Amino acid sequence: MTEQEAKAKCIEIFDKNKLYIILSEKQATMLSGTSIPFIGQPEGHTVIYLFDDYESAKHFVDELHFEKLENNYPIAEINKESEVYSLSSIISIAMALGVESMDYNALTNDALGVNLRWFCDVNNVNPQKISMMLTSEQMEKIQSNGDGIKVAFSPMKIINFIDPYDIDAAEKEKDLRLIFDAGETIGDYRNTYSSLSMIECLLLLDHVTTKYIPAAKAQNRIADVEYFKQVEPILQEVVMNKLADEANLFTAVDSNNKVIVNNNSVYVLITDLYKYSGHHIYQKLEGVASIKKLIRENNPQRIIVTDGPRYMGIIPVDKFLTKFI
């Protein structure tokens, strides 16, 4: 490609209404389905990856074996009309962070690698003009300590993001009613709860154990306490049954690979979707046998079954070991 052809291509790229950029899976906030642009370091230089269509970007992710958390591709859309998410703003921030180049349509017949400063010169872009999205917490910190604004990528929405552990408000309300009406008999309750997903069962168990029982006790509602105490073991039983069928289970360990034991409890996580959002490392568990090993080695009183950021299903260890003796 001649220099003139390269310039024409750069102008064409800059003029596109939409582009697609590869995001960092390790910087992702999976509760909101956002992340920031991925900065690659092939052969010692820094680069961002852009594509003119979504399918090409997905192919790149697959070919380079990027991690897809719960099958979410780490890709976002660049929009020419957006001040914060325009190509000029993203390139300006990238350059301020020391990124040197851009790979366009990598692994396709239309691939082009270009120096960002040269790209800006060709398109008469002033890389000093930067638009960023700041959270209210970031603004408060800037205003309180007077350190000024630190240049950083604005979080971008992951295209087609799905959080399979999210329960919308209407469904949550519907599920919670099942605590009070799931049938006529204990068997009805067990069957109703068994038909729910694991995360829905954890929602119910969390509310019964940590909200409804303590509230009823505090208000001296003895009948309600007794009722919730009947529902709680049914939910615990169903959660344990579902644990036995879960293919992906994890526990939390610290930087020294030591299992996290908090308040005499160990954690059994049903997903690693949020593993880059917290401070702990996720360690894979191989089913019920691994959980029993976790108990033997750490001697906890409780197992907390959770997705991570939302709901906790608390199961006494003795109840778990009795079931899976």
Both tokens assigned to 220: 């001296």
Q: Rounded to whole angstroms, how far apart are CA atoms 266 and 287?
A: 15
Cα gap 111→56, rounded to integer Å: 11
Q: What local confidence, expressed as pLDDT, does residue 199 receive? A: 97
Phi, psi at 34, each rounded to 5°? -130, 160
The backbone torsions φ and ψ at residue 77, rounded to the nearest 5 degrees and listed phi first, read -100, 135
Q: 138-190: per-residue pLDDT in tens?
A: 445 544 555 544 678 999 999 999 999 999 999 999 999 999 999 999 999 99
The CATH architecture one would assign to domain 3-157 is 3-Layer(aba) Sandwich (3.40)
Query: What ranges do the domains of the chain cover?
Result: 3-157, 169-323
3-state secondary structure 91-140: HHHHHHCCCCEEEECCCCCCCEEEEHHHHHHHCCCCCCCCCCCCCHHHHH
- 3-class DSSP state of 251: strand
Note the pLDDT tens digit of each residue in 51-98: 999 999 999 999 999 999 889 999 999 999 998 899 999 999 999 999
For every residue of 22-75, DSSP letters joined together read EBPSTT-BTTTTEE-B--B-GGG--EEEEESSHHHHHHHHHHTT---BTTB--E
Q: In terms of Cα–Cα distance, which of 92, 158, 98 is closest to 131?
A: 92
pLDDT at 40: 95
pTM of the model: 0.84
| pLDDT band per the 50, 70, 90 thresholds, residue 101 | very high
What dihedral angle (degrees, nearest 10) is formed by the CA atoms of 62, 67, 72, 77?
Answer: -70
- How many CB atoms within 10 Å of residue 301? 14
Which whole number is the average pLDDT over 112-136?
78
d(CA 266, CA 324): 17
Evaluate whether 280 touches 253 at the Cβ level (below 8 Å).
yes
Output the pLDDT for position 137: 56
pLDDT tens digits, one per residue of 269-304 = 999 999 988 888 999 999 999 999 999 999 999 999
Nearest to 92 by CA among 31, 151, 169: 151
Residues 4-62 pLDDT 10s? 999 999 999 999 999 999 999 999 999 899 999 999 998 889 999 999 999 999 999 99
Statement: residue 132 has pLDDT above 70: no
pLDDT at position 148 is 47
| The two three-digit tokens of residue 280, written as one number | 């702990």
The percent of residues in the chain predicted with pLDDT above 90, rounded, is 82
Task: Count the Cβ atoms, other than its own, within 10 Å of residue 29.
Answer: 14
Dihedral sign of CA atoms 157, 51, 125, 39 in order: positive
Report the chain's C-alpha Rg in angstroms.
25
Kindly report, residue by residue over 239-256, the tens digit of the pLDDT: 999 999 998 999 999 989
